[in-house]
Amino acid sequence: MPKKLFMIGGALLGLGLLLTLVQVFAPYHVPGHGSSGEHHNTRLWFSIQLALLVALPLGLGGAYFSAFNHLSGAAWSVTVRRLAESFIWFLPFVLLLLLLVIGFGMDDVYSHWTKATITGPKADHLIAHKSPWLNKKFFIILNVSIVLVWFVLGWILRKRSLNQDADGEYKHTRFMARFSAFFMVVFGLSFSANSWHLSMSMEPHWFSTMWAVYIFAGLALTTFAALILWISYLKANGYYGETVNENHIHDLGKFLWGHTIFWGYIGISQFLLIWYAHIPEETTFYHARLYNNNMTYNTWAWVSLALVIVRFIIPFFAIMSRDAKRNLKRLTIVSGLVIFGQILDMYWIAYPSMTHGSERAFIMFSWYELGPLLLTAGAYILIVGYALSRGSLIPRKDPRLEQCLHWHQ
């Protein structure tokens, strides 16, 4: 690992850890939670929850990218795939964040259903109806198991890829294609269940049948943006050479642009379906993020507008042309914006649920959120950088390598 990269990762990790620990001694008082000390660390756990929602696609996306390319028999991505395989080692850090949230902050982050009354005269009947799914024991067992399964399956794909570097046997390619079919089925089911628990259950009265697809769109965007950012760094520091050229970069740009459209399509479809159906238990999510009780726009509405601009409008037009998709500098800037868009998206999903009642107090993004996010960024740089140093940067004996090296479009 280059010394400069190690120092940057270490500095981000150290600063993030410091800011996170400061929250323990300088807690933020959340509006609507009273003056007792019970909820004084609510924002700490929400900030770690935000980091978890941002970190998860950074780890899982690498396994997803590797699997769908093995399954499709893609040649263009061979020289990029080892980079994606290295993302898998970030999943243990994701598990650490998850354990922190469920171990110490579950009654703050998921208080809408963990503290709901489901029996007696004041019972919350909607929560009671969902209690077979929304209960602490099931939540902990299911989500910890899911992250462990993702890591094991991703590790198997990476291990067989490294084994092929040693012996060059075609059997590894055949195995990885078949194994990836199994992975994609497990991924689709487990990721859906995980998205319902980790993010949709923060608003437990509300539900959307499109939620898992919406969260997946964010995972795909984050994955391709992270790959482009890493490739930009590596090529700027003399790695890859022509093994990753403008043709491979063009393909990554097409995926990034295509999933930008996909995110916009799923987002507007989900909104319009809920808007014209006008079912009370479905409208609560968007109402809290658009309106006050008197139907005037609240501050969250500006975040909603910013999300559309940052997540869709700017990337869509910035890399629409063929030349823009082959311009690594432009793609790097847009990829940074996409990562910021993922943070903004998860902030928009999580933070309005921090306060209770029909009027949701606006919680301005600040250093409270910056701490866990910087900690996550530093850990990600160090872990992926170390993983890249533990093997060849490209799969040297992949049977499609020659085709990849002469990829043109």
Q: How sure is the predictor about 41, in pLDDT bands with cuts at 50, 70 and 90?
A: confident
pLDDT in tens, 235-277: 999 999 999 999 999 999 999 999 999 999 999 999 999 999 8
Indicate if the alpha-carbon torsion angle 225, 229, 234, 238 is positive or negative.
Answer: positive
CB 205 within 8 A of CB 281: yes
How confident is the model at residue 357, as a pLDDT?
Answer: 62
Those residues with Cβ within 8 angstroms of residue 255's Cβ, 6 or more apart along the chain or in another chain: 220, 224
pTM over 0.85: yes
Do 208 and 369 form a contact (C-beta atoms < 8 A)? no
What is the tens place of the pLDDT at every residue in 171-196?
999 999 999 999 999 999 999 999 99
| Helices (H), ranges, 237-321 | 246-277, 280-288, 299-308, 314-318
Q: CB under 8 Å to 199, separation ≥6 — which residues? A: 53, 211, 215, 346, 349, 350
Single-letter code of the amino acid located at 394: I
Give the residue-averaged pLDDT of 385-391: 94
Instruction: Give the tokens for residue 18.
Output: 């410091």
Query: Taking the CA of residue 38 as centre, how many other CA atoms within 13 Å lie in the half-sphere pointing to its CB?
Result: 9
pLDDT by residue (tens digit) across 322-374? 999 999 999 999 999 999 999 999 999 999 999 876 567 899 999 999 999 99
Given a cut of 90, is residue 211 above it in pLDDT? yes
Burial of 24 (C-beta count, 10 Å sphere; 0-12/13-18/19+): exposed
Contacts of 237 (CB under 8 A, 6+ apart): 2
Three-state SS at 207: coil
In angstroms, the CA 99 to CA 106 distance is 10
Average pLDDT over residues 214-226: 98
What pLDDT does residue 38 have?
A: 46
For residue 386, what are its two tokens? 């170390």
Tens of pLDDT, residues 62-93: 999 999 999 999 999 999 999 999 999 999 99
d(CA 345, CA 217): 11
Angstrom distance (rounded) from CA 293 to CA 298: 9
User: pLDDT tens across 141-175, in order?
Assistant: 999 999 999 999 999 999 999 999 999 999 999 99
Helix, strand, coil % in the chain, rounded to nearest 5: 75, 0, 25
According to DSSP H, which parts of 134-245 are helical? Answer: 136-167, 171-198, 211-236
Residue whose token pair is 């600063």: 15
**pLDDT band with cut points at 50, 70 and 90 for residue 24:** confident
Phi, psi of 294, rounded to the nearest 5 degrees: -90, 15
Determine contact, residues 77/137, Cβ cutoff 8 Å: no
390 Cβ contact partners less than 8 Å away, ≥ 6 residues apart = none
Dig out the tokens for 98 from the structure: 């998850």
Determine the pLDDT at residue 109: 95
In the structure encoding, which two tokens stand for residue 80, read together?
């990029």
Alpha carbon distance 214, 324 (integer Å): 26
Torsion, Cα 336 342 344 345, to 10 degrees, reads 150
Residue-level pLDDT at 358: 58
